[in-house]
Amino acid sequence: MIKIGVLVSGSGTNLQSIIDASFRGEVDGEVAIVISNNASAFALTRAEDKGIPTRVVSHKGFPDRRRFDMELVKVLNGFNVDLVALAGFMRVLTPEFLEHFPGRVMNIHPALLPSFPGLGVRQKAIDHGVRFSGCTVHFVDQGVDTGPIIIQATVPVYPDDREEQLQERILRLEHKIYPKAIQLFAQGRLKIEGRKVFIDGLKKDEDQCMINPPLHI
């Protein structure tokens, strides 16, 4: 059973999916601590409802990013976490933070990286006219949304989509792939080699594909 520290800033639907998967036994781990930089994040209520310890560490209370991050490290180490999962955590972590958890920090991003890193990415995908977008769980490195990719899921994008529509479509898949990525980590099946993540026991499926629009129209 691994101990997971989850960092959040907002609603916490991904946190909920991780908690629920762990309660169902689909993740060999438990959420040991939830830390929010935002005291009014609904994610905190979700954790408290399940009896999971929470802390608020506001970035506003620190003179620089490094000292904010060191406080996060202190709290996470106090709970002996094996894995740090960023779940809608809207702060960029410093290299000093990452040094404390090498290969042990994951993030979920609502686009198919390396396309559309950063913020406002669902609207950017619609505006660009792509036929697919999706979500990515990746290990965190020193860049923004640049780390080795663990798992991705695709959804179709339509030119007349509203951002909220695409957001809902993507979120449904986020809630499936984040617990899966964490379970692969908990099972010790992920090996990082440079930019690539090799998954122990993964078989190739040469026929898997999605075409949008479909060929039959």
Instruction: List interacting residues with ligand GAR (CB under 6 A).
Output: 10-14, 43, 87-88, 108-110, 171, 174
**C-beta of 171 vs 181, nearer to ligand GAR:** 171
- What separation, in Å, do the N-terminal and C-terminal C-alpha atoms of the chain show? 48
Residue 92 corresponds to which amino acid? V
| Nearer CB in complex with ligand GAR: 41/186 | 41
Half-sphere exposure of 45 (CA within 13 A, CB side): 6
The residues near 101 (Cβ < 8 Å, ≥ 6 apart) are: 76, 81, 83, 84
Rounded least distance, CB 85 to ligand GAR, Å: 10
| Phi and psi, residue 89, nearest 5° | -90, 115
Catalytic residue among 59, 100, 109, 175: 109
Considering the complex, state which of residue 10 and residue 156 has its C-beta at the smaller distance from ligand GAR.
10
- Tell me how far, at minimum, the Cβ of 171 lies from ligand GAR, in Å: 6
Checking DSSP bridges between strand 105-109 and strand 132-139, what pairing results, if any? antiparallel
Active site residue 109: yes
Question: Residue with the closest Cβ to ligand GAR?
Answer: 88
Length reported for the chain: 217
**Residue of 10, 153, 171 whose CA lies nearest to 88:** 10
Q: Which is nearer to ligand GAR, 124 or 187 (CB)?
A: 124
- What sign does the CA torsion over 7, 10, 16, 18 have? negative
Which residues belong to the active site? Answer: 109
